[in-house]
A and B are shown apart, each in its own frame.
Chain A
Amino acid sequence: MTRTLQQKSTRYFLIWLPLVLLVGTGLFYILMSMHAHHMEEEQLELKQENIWNAIAANREMPAAHITGEYDLAKGSPVRSHLLDIRRDTAIYYPVSKDWMSFKLLTEQHVLNGQPYQLTTYVSSREITHLIIKVFIADIFVFILLLAAIVVINRISSGRLWQPFYVTLKAVQTYDINQNQSLPLDGQTGTWEFDQLNQVITHLIGHVNQAYSSQKQFTENASHELQTPLAIIRSKLDLLIDSSTLTEETAGLLADITEANDRLSQLNKNLLLLTKIDNHQFPDQSSVKVSEAIEKLLAHYQDHHGGDLPVIRKSIQPGIGIKANASLIDILLSNLINNAFVHNIPNGYIDVRLDNKVLVIENTGHSIEGETGRLFERFKKGREESKTTGLGLSLVQRICGIYHFDLHYHYGENIHRITVMFSQK
């Protein structure tokens, strides 16, 4: 799952921060309670000491009992195991009709040779209330902290990454075909982004250079290869016209001519593939597919010697797509050409165009090998020497450029190619 940087960092914060804060809150609660109890005990002991000191100084016995403050009993301890132990208790207050919790401490004292037991009380209700209140406040503070961290992080990372997004957008909209330089800010104020922009600018410069030289190479290769081919062809034209032509040399010339024509065709198709790969067909217009198919079919019927396959067609008129006209022409003529060339005697060709789906079905010989590999360069269905083996490869590249779906199906000597001209 791909998320934006902001979403990711927020996600990390939202997963880990509450965990840390939860542990922190727990620790805080434990420490708070420990300190509070320690404080209660100190208060108990202080009260014990203060009251006994007051009793000892007065030399007369005060009231034996003050609720919530102390109990004073004369005599040896009844339950000596309770001595010097801090215990919890609850006392009923009839006025407020309420039980209140207290801590109590009983200690044995001796005054004038008489043993006394003094039990002092400290209310633990206030301290419990305090703990709860502080704890709640603490939770509020933690939640506020969490929200603040997340918000600050979102805002700051949005600002920090701003130059990055600017660069990203520039690179995204960059079109190599235009062969322009890509000006990026080299002074963003952040070292990493300065570096990034410098590296990208550098890279684009290199790519531009490579692209230009490749285009140049394509053009030069075309010229350099076509020239010797043109020379061979012109010499062949002169040779077949020579008076010394015999039947034997005529046979040789026929073979040379055919090989030369194939070579020239191969060269043209290879260059075309290179050009398509280089995206050198950027011009787009509305191409009338229906009309183009009708024209091609008429053309082939017109220029086909020997057994013409039966042609069935159902072509919805007025279908148009936005694409490069030359490329669509190459695509359609290659598909229709294949249907004619790879047909069998008394075969048929069925062309259907309906709602931007083109289906070309034709009878033909069986194919050796995997059908999926037919679209590879120089892959031929049968070892037929007359084809260049680049036709379907061209078709596939062109479909690739415009995101057309291309399907091939073979069964019982029937070949079916489906092209979906649906553009996203």
Chain B
Amino acid sequence: MKILVIEDERSLLASIVQYFNQEKFLCDTAGSYNEGIAKIESFHYDCIILDINLPGGSGLQLLKYLRQNKSRDGVIIISARDSLDDKIDGLNLGADDYLIKPFHLSELNARVRALIRRKYAAGASVLQVGPLKADLASRSIICEDQSISLSKNEYDLLLFLMTNKNRVVSRQAIAEHIHDGPSEQIPSFDFVYSHIKNLKRKLKEKGCHEIIHSVYGLGYKLFS
């Protein structure tokens, strides 16, 4: 899988590239509008991660240019602009997703993978991690050939951990991911703990022992 990250902030760019390299993605980078245009004209990418404020032009202009040239590359906008209007503008111009800064890299990873699944692997909607199989169409989890009944939150949580397998995912990232609203509406992160506890118990019942580990209270990691 090949992705292009267009972001003028070098430090953030480096973090994203490091994260996706560890995920075995091929990463290309662009630090300005013109550099971005040059890259999208020459190559095809599975996904483009696009900042809006760029030196030399706006990310939205770049997106317009991309769509006018009939390119179907998936685009995820990452922007500090958090108003609904900005979001709608971006999506109307043909972006596939819109992520507001600051975001968690695990969240960006989940979005990129979901986008790639939607766009290129329409038929194969099964995600397998170790003994766990997630059927994305029917939203069900199968463990060792046994179906596990999970609540909506538990399913979202498990899928998020499976997408970010073998990595530590922070409690905050999980909370924001499950909580499909702005993060200021989260009274406490305690609910993550209780969901994990329930999830572990249910997995254990079906024979998936010790697959989710807690990492010093910072976050959780799912081993494949």
B101-A257 in contact (CB<8A): no
Q: A219-B81, A238-B105 are in contact. Are A299 and B185 (CB under 8 A)?
A: yes
Tell which of A229, A234, A268, A299 touches B15, judged by Cβ atoms closer than 8 Å: A234
B216-A268 in contact (CB<8A): no
A253-B183 in contact (CB<8A): no
CA distance A269 to B153 in the complex (A): 27
Q: Smallest CB-CB separation from B173: which chain A residue? A: A237
Give the chain A neighbours of B189 by CB distance below 8 A: 305
Contacting chain B: which of A39-47, A136-144, A199-207, A239-247? A239-247
CA distance A302 to B186 in the complex (A): 11
Q: A247-B216, A250-B217, A305-B194 are in contact. Are A222 and B170 (CB under 8 A)?
A: no
A226-B101 in contact (CB<8A): yes
CA distance A224 to B11 in the complex (A): 14
CA distance A264 to B9 in the complex (A): 18
A250-B191 in contact (CB<8A): no
Please report the total number of B residues contacting A with Cβ < 8 Å: 47
**How many A-B contacts if CB must be within 8 Å?**
121
CA distance A234 to B78 in the complex (A): 13
Q: A237-B104, A302-B153 are in contact. Are A223 and B15 (CB under 8 A)?
A: no
A233-B104 in contact (CB<8A): yes
Give the chain A neighbours of B82 by CB distance below 8 A: 222, 268
Describe A's contact surface by its main secondary structure. Answer: helix
CA distance A245 to B175 in the complex (A): 22
Q: Mark B95-122, 1 if CB is under 8 A from A, else 0.
A: 0000001111110000000000000000
Give the chain A neighbours of B181 by CB distance below 8 A: 299
Within 8 A of A (CB), among B131-179: 153, 167-168, 170, 172-173, 175, 178-179
Q: Smallest CB-CB separation from B166: which chain A residue? A: A241
A259 to chain B, nearest CB (A): 12
Give the chain B neighbours of A257 by CB distance below 8 A: 170, 172, 218
Within 8 A of A (CB), among B18-34: 18-19, 22
CA distance A369 to B189 in the complex (A): 29
A303 at the B interface (CB under 8 A): yes
Give the chain A neighbours of B185 by CB distance below 8 A: 296, 299-300, 333, 337
B192-A237 in contact (CB<8A): no
Tell which of B15, B179, B218 touches A235, judged by Cβ atoms closer than 8 Å: B15
